[in-house]
Amino acid sequence: MLSAADLSLSASAAAISERVTALGVYQLPIGSEDADRVPSERFEGQITRRTWRLDGGGTVLQILAPLREQLVEQGYEVRLDCAARDCGGFGFRFGIEVVPTPDMMVDISRFHFLSAAKGKEAVSVLVSRAGEAAFVQVISVRPPDTAAEVEKPVVPAEPDSVRPIELAKVLEVRGHAVLTDLVFESGSTRLREGQYDSLKELAGYLAANPQYRLLLVGHTDTVGSQAQNAGISERRAQSVKERLVEAHEADQGRIDVAGAGFLAPIASNLIPEGREANRRVEAVLLAD
């Protein structure tokens, strides 16, 4: 069995990632989306974000139900328990915190969300299906006096086998994927030196699938004007293309670039974590 906070998942659940913030603020969703707003309650402490993948059958509710039972048995009070449309669909999905793809995938029409609290502790569980697989995200908050004062990096499970499959699946199922491991020089549009698994995987995918092309789209937060950000985001996408061609011998004729600026956020630009998530480069799959 795998443990998430004090929850146990089935033995078939494969851990994908873990992110631990020693001290932070989590806005626990406690109501369905209403007028572009998801009601929430503030919790402060150590925040742990974990994700898993489960291959095979089972509805999202069948996966979530035993986790809900465990929380109730531990004395947690359920604050919100809703499915896709009842939660608010698209508006809810983009109004709550979700670990970036490919570590967590959410189908707008097939997800179930649960939040619960016990005193100063809070837990949220998000379950969704994507193709033949199901994804589980658990975010838990514990007060600082009960939390270990450490901060862990993302730890993917079996990176040599799981991550390449995940990126390909994200591209084929959703048509686009955020390249989450890219790091740019501070205050620059240049990609920092180093090896990036996502670029190696993209180049390999292009080589194995000559019927497809890629569009690399840069995105920014809302700091500055849209005109400035459109230019910055396009130059960052161009930097990624150059690295693909130079380091991985990708066919430059099958890779286009574009800059969206701040027109397509995936998180709130009102908080630092949201602005960081919005500064990204996405790969979009195109037919050749």
Q: 169-210, pLDDT tens digit by residue? A: 778 777 888 888 898 886 788 998 988 989 999 999 999 999
Of 9-18, 64-73, 115-124, 191-200, give the lowest mean pLDDT range: 9-18
What single letter denotes the amino acid at residue 254? R
Q: How confident is the model at residue 154 (pLDDT cuts 50, 70, 90)?
A: very low
Please give the full DSSP string across 24-80, using - where no structure is assigned. Answer: EEEEEE-S--BTTB--EEEEEEEEEEEEEEEES---HHHHHHHHHHHHHHTTPEEEE
Residue ranges per structural domain of the chain: 2-146, 162-287
Query: Is 122's pLDDT higher than 70?
Result: yes
Q: Considering the domain 162-287 in this protein, what is its CATH number?
A: 3.30.1330.60
Any idea of the CA torsion for 273, 279, 280, 284, to the nearest 10 degrees? 110
Both tokens of 266, joined, read 């995936």
Q: How confident is the model at residue 79 (pLDDT cuts 50, 70, 90)?
A: very high
Q: In this predicted model, what pLDDT tens digit does every residue of 263-285 receive, in sequence order?
A: 988 888 888 777 888 899 999 99
- pTM given for the model: 0.56
Q: How confident is the model at residue 3 (pLDDT cuts 50, 70, 90)?
A: very low
Which pLDDT value is given to residue 185? 80
Whole-number Å distance between alpha carbons of 199 and 176: 14
As to burial, measured by CB atoms within 10 angstroms (0-12 exposed, 13-18 middle, 19+ buried), residue 172 is middle
